[in-house]
């Protein structure tokens, strides 16, 4: 099953809420751009809930809105130490982080 880690919309000058259809690990992994300019969380938009971006001001008519995932892979979500227990949840989170990054590379490179 193909996973698309981005959603595109066209602004209409009045709509402020836009739904995203992909999973993410942290809100900081979700990025928003308008006509290619990346916007800042809290300054330009916020999360109304886990699947809805709420703009502070409605994007203008005919602008391209892109909501996409850019998973941070600089640090693993979970780290393991010698002699400590390994939880399945921590392993799954690390694999999910890796899987999301691969999906993003595939979507942005080959599509």
Which of 49, 7, 51 lies closest to 32 in space, CA to CA?
A: 7
Q: In what order do the strands lie in the sheet with 45-49?
A: 17-19, 52-55, 45-49
Whole-number pLDDT of residue 111: 47
Kindly give the residue spans of alpha helices, DSSP state H, lying in the chain: 88-110
Question: What pLDDT, in 10s, does the model give residues 36-71?
Answer: 999 999 999 999 999 999 999 999 999 999 999 999
Q: What is the pTM of this model?
A: 0.84
Whole-number pLDDT of residue 43: 95
3-class secondary structure, 65:
strand
């Amino acid at each position: 099953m193909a996973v698309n880690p981005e959603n595109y919309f066209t602004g209409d000058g009045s709509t402020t809420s836009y739904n995203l259809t992909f999973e993410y690990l942290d809100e900081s992994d979700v990025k928003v751009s308008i006509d290619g300019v990346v916007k800042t969380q809290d300054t330009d938009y916020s999360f109304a809930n886990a699947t809805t971006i709420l703009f502070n001001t409605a994007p203008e008519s005919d602008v391209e809105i892109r909501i996409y995932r850019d998973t941070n892979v600089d640090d693993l979500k979970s780290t393991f130490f010698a002699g400590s227990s390994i939880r399945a949840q921590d392993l799954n989170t690390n694999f999910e982080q890796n899987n999301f990054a691969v999906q993003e590379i595939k979507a942005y490179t080959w599509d």
